[in-house]
Amino acid sequence: MMMDDPLTEGPQITSKMIGKAQGLYAMAAQNDLSLLMVVNYVFTEGIYKGSSISILGRNHIFDDIREMPIVGGSGAFRLAHGYALAHTVQIDMETGDAIVEYNVYVERSRRELSLHLCLVKALPCSGLAQGESVKRVESYFRWVGNKETWSSKPLSASASVSTPWGGWRYCMGGFTVLDSGFGSCKGVEMGLCLCSLNGKFSEQFPLAISTKRMEKMTRLNFYFHDVLSGSSPTAILIAGPSSKMANKFGSTFMIDDPLTEGPEPTSKLVGRAQGMYSLASQHDIGLLMVMDFAFVEGMYNGSTLSILGRNPVLNTVREMPIVGGSGLFRYARGYALARTVSADQKTGNAVVEYNISVVHF
């Protein structure tokens, strides 16, 4: 069942609408009423207007309380994870109409940090002048080409860090550089990946390390070619509504779309987008996207990224959550920004640019 259900503040149908539940649910058990839920909660009110959270889980509807995982989000809920607790308030067994209360618990990720864009700026240490503080920090951070050499001596200092989203984020309690057993961190232009972070400072740096593994951010750019026409389409309609539905709500397409380095169809193939998208909104062109980017070139050959999110295709830039991955992208989380390069209104063929930011080990 494809849905575009209203979300309201209260159980009454006349209660204030705060969003929409857009996606699908399917009967996924032979012996009980268990639903597979693939849905985006899209918020239309208040500080979360324009943001969404993505749910993928099992809904055993006869249980009083059902828990489902939140696997991602967009906007204010970028990199979110958490869970939703569902409780049926009312159900009409004849029509199937239902009102369900949701209590949602979301941990919004600490803002992602691209280590290769970060710089350390020393602030006055206690009892030291600014210049002396800088020298003290620099004596422990020795820049050697693209590698960082570490001292085994701990260092406590106050610092602030330049972040990709602009401005400075201040360290409340200082940081301590540790001897982690690493000689260097390849490809990293600063040392906070090997810092012990104190107090609130850790809220700004989710990429702080364990002693064995370090998270990194990868950015990818490629072009998605969705071809519905011709003798070899890469997207085909597999389910749809009756012909009476003017807006084609519920139409579902399976895709095996090429991903290329450039926008031209003849550009080098770097992967395939495999999965499906569905028209999940009654009032605009909002797609439910459930797909894998399977890479076939270079160091990412054989690795994949998984997307589950909402794609309002008429927006200039659309954000969708990356909820997992495989191979080099194992344990991945992140987001994709999509921008339409060209679209043929007659055939439905389109070329879409994707910019990917993903955190992984």
Q: What is the CATH number of the domain that holds 317?
A: 2.40.480.10
- The pLDDT of residue 196 is 30
Q: Are residues 165 and 274 in the same domain?
A: no
Q: Give residue 147's region: left, alpha or beta (phi > 0; psi -120 to 50).
A: beta
- The pLDDT of residue 247 is 75
Q: Are residues 131 and 99 in the same domain?
A: no
Q: Which two tokens stand for residue 268?
A: 């080098």
Q: How far apart are CA 7 and CA 44, in angstroms?
A: 10
Q: Does a structural domain hold residue 60? A: yes
Q: What's the count of helices (H) and strands (E) in the chain, helices before strands?
A: 1, 24
pLDDT band (50, 70, 90) for residue 30: confident
Strand pairing partners for 121? 160
What percent of the chain is modeled with pLDDT above 70?
A: 70
DSSP 209: P
What is the average pLDDT value for the chain, to the nearest integer?
Answer: 77
Q: Does a structural domain hold residue 212? A: no
Q: Does a structural domain hold residue 81? A: yes
Of 86, 107, 128, the last residue of a domain is: 107
CA-to-CA dists, residue 99 to 10, 37, 305, angstroms: 10, 16, 35
Q: Are residues 232 and 344 in the same domain?
A: yes
By residue range, what is the domain housing residue 247?
Answer: 218-360
- The structure's pTM equals 0.69
How confident is the model over 140-160, as pLDDT tens digits? 443 333 333 333 333 333 333
As for how many domains the chain has, the answer is 3
Q: Does a structural domain hold residue 181? A: yes
- The pLDDT of residue 263 is 97
Q: Are residues 229 and 283 in the same domain?
A: yes
Q: Does a structural domain hold residue 210? A: no
pLDDT band (50, 70, 90) for residue 226: very high
Does the pLDDT value for residue 257 go beyond 80? yes
Q: Are residues 259 and 337 in the same domain?
A: yes
In this prediction, residues 247-269 reach a mean pLDDT of 94
Q: Does a structural domain hold residue 342? A: yes
Q: Does a structural domain hold residue 213? A: no
